[in-house]
Each structure stands twice: as structure tokens, then as C-alpha cells.
Amino acid sequence: MKLDLFADGITNISIVAGVVRIDFYVVRPKGQPTNGATSETERDTHLSVNLPLPGFVSSINILQRVLNELLQRGVVSGRPPEDLPRPDA
């Protein structure tokens, strides 16, 4: 089974009984725009992924390798883009 999902970012990570729960969010319009103005946005928790601790650690290693490659290629600067909503916002 293949499942394709999209998320704008991570809102929370928690660990309980050796299972890591990662909550992802999507940015959605907050209400309806008025008079053609851009509406405010809000983060909506959209998906939770639960991994056993060894699977999470393995995932971090894979993500770190990808990040290192992107940094070497100059695709990312190592800082989050300023225009993305912050998880703590």
C-alpha cells in the first residue's frame, strides 16, 4: 500500500512507552477573506505518525544525511525560511 500525504511542518513530538509520536500540520485559511484581502492562516494538526524508538532514530539518521546533501549543494542555508509559520507561533 502506498499513501502520499502532505504537511507544512511538525507541531509536536512526544515519546510515551518507547513510541515517538510526530504530529504534522497543514496551513489553512482562517475564515473567509473579505473584500479580496488575503485571509489569516492557522495551523491545523493534520496527521500523526507513531514510530518505535529505533525506527525514529533510524529516520533521524536518514534525514540528517539528506540535510547534509542539501547543504552541500547549496539548496538550503541551514536556517528555516522566514516566510514559513513557526511551530511555536
Global pTM value: 0.70
pLDDT score at 81: 60
Q: What is the pLDDT of residue 58?
A: 94
pLDDT per position as a tens digit, 15-59: 999 999 999 999 988 877 666 666 788 888 889 999 999 999 999
Give the per-residue pLDDT at 22: 96
pLDDT, greater one: 31 or 75? 75
Nearest-angstrom CA–CA distance, 82 and 89: 12
* pLDDT tier at 83, thresholds 50, 70, 90: low
Amino acid at 61: N
In the chain, domain spans: 9-73
Q: Read off the C-alpha cell for 76.
A: 538550503
